[in-house]
Amino acid sequence: MITAFVLLDVQTDQVPEVAEALCDVEGVVEVYSVTGRYDLICKVKVARNEDLADVVTGRVGKIPGVAGSETVIAFRSYSPRVLDAGFALGQDPV
């Protein structure tokens, strides 16, 4: 499974509409409004690189209000360790 994050420049007055449209794109699993350089970030999970290309350029990039994007592909997830550490608060380390 390929996980990617698409960082989006969005026309300011269309952020909510673009976020809603992103939620309806197959392969988009999470959408966040954020502070900083980008307006929205969406997490994409697909089976193949070709699917990622279709989601990013064929669907996300065509949503009205999207002014530009940058896509980063995740190599590895460390989140299970972070979650385990959070649940282990107050316990003696192993």
Q: In which residue are the tokens 């809603």 written?
A: 20
pLDDT tens for 72-93 read 999 988 776 655 655 555 565 5
Q: What residues contact 10, with CB distance under 8 A and at least 6 apart?
A: 18, 39, 40, 65, 66, 67
Residue 28 belongs to what H/E stretch? strand 28-33
Low-confidence residues of the chain, pLDDT below 70? 80-94
The DSSP symbol for 78 reads -
The pLDDT assigned to 83 comes to 54
| pLDDT attached to residue 48 | 96
Q: Provide the CB-side half-sphere exposure for 70 (13 A, CA).
A: 6
Domains annotated for the chain, with CATH where assigned, are 2-87 (3.30.70.920)
pTM metric for this prediction: 0.81
